[in-house]
Amino acid sequence: MHRAIRSLLAKARTHISKGAARPRASRSLFEALERREMMIVSVATPLPDITAVPRGSGAVTVGLAGRFNDPAYTNRVRFATNSGDLDINLTPGVAPNTVANFLAYVNAGRYDNTIFHQTLRVAADPLGTNTANGIGILQGGGYRVPTATYTSTPPTQAMRPQPITTNAPINLENATGNVRGTIAMARGASPNSATSQFFFNVTNNPTLNQTSSGTGSAVFGQVLPESLPVLDSLFGFTRTNFADDFNSPAFGSMPLRTQPTDPGFVPLPIAPSAYLRINTATSVVAGYAATSSNTNIATVAIVNGELVVTPVLGALGTVSITVQAISFSGNAVDNASDTFNVTIVPAAPTASTLQTRDNRAVGTSLNLYAVGVRDTDSAIARVDFYRDTNGNGTFDDGVDLELGSDSSQLNGYSARVDTSTFSVGANTIFARIVDADGPATIITQTVNMVARPTSTTVTPPAGAVNARDSYTVEIAGVTPTNTNVRRVSVFLDANGDGNFNPFTDRLLGNAVYNTTTGNWVFTGKASQLEVGANRLFIRVQDIFANLGTVQSTTVTVG
């Protein structure tokens, strides 16, 4: 307890007397209810329209922080007592660590089923005629309700209020403003000794503020005006000195709901229901309500201080959402509402990737696959494939070249496209997924194209070759470089039709790279050829399996 309270309490004890059998209560002092108007709330930042919420999508969360200009509508706590609800606005702006400490106890449930264990009504002078600098407080947060009825002295452990589990002490902050209706931290002699106990300033208590000779008590919240009658009611109950009964000075002025049978006398038994108790302490994040103009399109809810808009499955259209600031008691605050529109539109289709094969030769065919194509609210109409003709990396309808289209999901959405218009190097490919409602989604992939392998010159033997001898064919100007060439193959035109056919023409073998000349050399046996002119085909293949244009030459066997 603060030393200033101790000093004034010492003066007040001249007015406290004990009965022969049971303690007697001191005289109650009732102060007039101070009128306090509710803070004015207005819209600080209007909520913007949301014009494109996809049909079939999940809920949309809209943050409300900073939308209304009164911080009193955040960081709230409700004490549900056995005399009514005490609703409190916390003030983290001036006492952030104190508020955080208090909420830690609230959220851990440690204030549930606890008692107000002390009421101090200390006048500034012995006669109680001047209360301007007196003390009127209601203190709690330290002890649980006894589990058994107090039936005999000395009380058993179950008949005594037991201390709650506390966290580490916190540093003092905002040690001023102890006016009627505020909540502050109770502490010991050290300024930085507050843990769980708090008190309500039922009166203006300037002696509890920081001065040149004292450090004061930390104020961190304000009882809402509509809860002040509940606070006054709790403050007005019978007080009894249980300091000796419970062997602690903390219980020297305990309020009870049980009324004395004669002036100041509270007889046994005293049931747990006789104590002023906090049944539950609940943290309330924000004071807002929300309504939807058409719940067939979207429903709304306030969850953890944020607005949650949930589109109705299958619905389309625009709905007006109104967010209203409310008092803690649930009453709407005048001039503190905001309305905006949410439009539910058809959901666009999606796809996971556009797959293709890199390092294809320009002029060869290329397979494109749109993988993971789906739509949450409609059917897929088709998938169109395009090349980024102007090279700007962005799909331009009517400009970029359409390569193919697929409207059947049977074998997956794909197209086999010609690459004769592609460039050597990186080429950007688009897949446009179009659903039956019209929305489309573009996915992109880059494919690397290489030049088609080829050779420039094929040199056969200079004259006729003896059937018993070998012959050589030299292939010059092979591209790409030798390290990127898989093979240079030589075929015999087996059926003599003058056209290359890899399935009917006979493979004679592969040429060998000559590191000295940089050419490829094929050595064959004339005995494998017919007497007379023999047409040979030469085909270059690179390491990416691309095949070059076939060239031909003639070898004559004599």
- For residue range 233-273, list pLDDT tens digits in order: 999 998 888 998 899 999 999 999 987 766 556 788 999 99
The residue behind tokens 């006054």 is 232
- Is 138 among the domain residues? yes
The residue behind tokens 């409300």 is 64
pLDDT at 212: 77
Q: Are residues 273 and 380 in the same domain?
A: no
pLDDT 10s digits, 448-469: 999 999 999 999 999 999 999 9
What is the C-alpha to C-alpha distance for residues 64 and 190, in angstroms, rounded to an integer? 40
> 475: which 2 tokens?
């292939």
Q: Are residues 440 and 462 in the same domain?
A: no
Q: Where are the alpha helices (DSSP H) in 69-195?
A: 96-107
Q: Are residues 263 and 386 in the same domain?
A: no
Q: Are residues 263 and 384 in the same domain?
A: no
Q: Are residues 106 and 240 in the same domain?
A: yes
Q: Is the peptide bond preceding residue 154 cis, with omega within 30 degrees of 0? A: yes
- Is 184 among the domain residues? yes
What is the C-alpha to C-alpha distance for residues 335 and 200, in angstroms, rounded to an integer? 31
pLDDT 10s digits, 148-189: 999 998 999 999 999 999 999 999 999 999 999 999 999 999
Q: Are residues 100 and 206 in the same domain?
A: yes
Pick the last residue of a domain from 450, 468, 487: 450
Pick the last residue of a domain from 283, 303, 321: 283
How many structural domains comprise the chain?
3
pLDDT 10s digits, 491-518: 999 999 999 999 999 999 999 999 999 9
pLDDT at 330: 64
Q: Are residues 397 and 462 in the same domain?
A: no
Q: Are residues 545 and 485 in the same domain?
A: yes
Residue 166: CATH number of its domain? 2.40.100.10
Q: Are residues 414 and 527 in the same domain?
A: no
- Is 312 among the domain residues? no
Residue 368: CATH number of its domain? 2.60.40.10
Do residues 64 and 305 make contact, with C-beta atoms less than 8 angstroms apart? Answer: yes
Do residues 78 and 328 make contact, with C-beta atoms less than 8 angstroms apart? Answer: yes
Which residues are bridge partners to 291 per DSSP?
A: 322
Question: Taking residues 398-408, what's their average pLDDT?
Answer: 94
What size, in residues, is the chain?
558
Question: Taking residues 342-368, what's their average pLDDT?
Answer: 90
What is the C-alpha to C-alpha distance for residues 21 and 222, in angstroms, rounded to an integer? 40
Question: Taking residues 48-68, what's their average pLDDT?
Answer: 82
Question: What is the DSSP track for 201-234?
Answer: ESS--GGGS--SS-----EEEEE-GGGHHHHHHH
What's the whole-model pTM score? 0.48
Which of the pair, 25 or 178, is modelled with greater confidence?
Answer: 178
What is the C-alpha to C-alpha distance for residues 534 and 111, in angstroms, rounded to an integer? 103
In sequence order, the 6+-apart residues with CB closer than 8 A to the CB of 306 are 61, 62, 63, 64, 286
User: Which residues constitute the domain of residue 182?
Assistant: 3-35+78-283
Q: Are residues 408 and 466 in the same domain?
A: no
- Is 47 among the domain residues? no
- Is 59 among the domain residues? no
Pick the last residue of a domain from 450, 475, 510: 450
